[in-house]
Amino acid sequence: MAQRATDRIDAVGSTTALAIPADPAYVGTVRYFAATIARHEGLPEELIDDLRLAVSEACAEAIDAGVTGSIRVALSLEPERIDVEVTSGSAQSEGEPLAREALVPIYRMQLIRALFPDAKTDPGHGVRVVRFTVPHASSRGA
Amino acid sequence: MDLVLGSRNENGWAVLEVQGEVDLYTSPQLREAIVRLTEEEENRIVVDLYNVSFMDSSGLGVLVAGLKRARERGGELALVFGEGSVQKVFGITGLDKIFPTYRSVGEATGGT
């Protein structure tokens, strides 16, 4: 029986994570995943739109760079904030960077940083990480 | 997640109507549609994004390339979108200053 390529969700404590193949076809799944969690936490729709865009750009940036294997998107629910971490392997030599308009990689990080100013990228050894925080005053208990 | 594209002529402009989400996966369809129009000598293009619910940088890149292609041929590429996430993406990147932008196709084509 073939193993499913996506929908690998794990939840530990306050963190829920989704792993997808580094494939453009799965980026929409990440947006849906992030929006579902954010909506459950009571975030306003405008902030959910920002989160969808930021996680989408982070995944697309990794795929554009030629990352192979999987991309893990983790959302950690903290009081009045969600910590987001998008982790992927480094671009492999056999992975071909996608041909794309030259300015697109610049737009991607510009958008993430404009939406979430604490966004940081960490292209470490063997792993790429984009982290940012979604601050919110949850409607819970309001 | 599908992208629905349709084109028609209106007041001397080729109107490319886009519905759905424009991202890394679907933006090649938009690129192909714009290239096809310019290959058909349709260089005055309105891209109607009013029914686009999501757009990321992949879509921006395609539209910037389309604008360049149209202008190189003596034409223009104008955009239609409403308030919301698409407008926000253009505002953050400053691209709303580069494209002619309108609130309706009629306004873009001079029909209203």
Question: Is A130 part of the contact surface with chain B (CB cutoff 8 Å)?
Answer: no
Question: B38: domain range?
Answer: 3-109
Answer yes or no: do A28 and B92 touch at CB < 8 A.
no
Instruction: Tell whether the model's pLDDT for residue A95 goes beyond 60.
Output: no
Which residue reads 């202008």 in tokens?
B71
Q: How many domains does chain B have?
A: 1
Give the strand order in the sheet containing A15-21: A8-12, A15-21, A70-78, A81-89, A127-135, A120-124
pLDDT tens digits, B31-55 = 999 999 999 999 999 999 999 999 9
Q: pLDDT class for A66, splitting at 50, 70, 90?
A: confident
Q: What is the CATH number of the domain that holds B68?
A: 3.30.750.24
* CB half-sphere exposure, A124, CA atoms < 13 A: 8
Instruction: Tell whether the model's pLDDT for residue A98 goes beyond 80.
Output: no
Residue of B nearest to A106 (CA): B57
| pLDDT score of A68 | 84
pTM: 0.89
Distance from CA of B27 to the nearest CA of A (A): 10
Instruction: For this complex, say whether ipTM is above 0.95.
Output: no
Residue B53 identity (one-letter amino acid) = S
Joined tokens for residue B56: 């990321």
Q: Residue ranges of the domains in chain A?
A: 8-135
Q: Judge: domain A8-135, CATH 3.40.50.720.
A: no
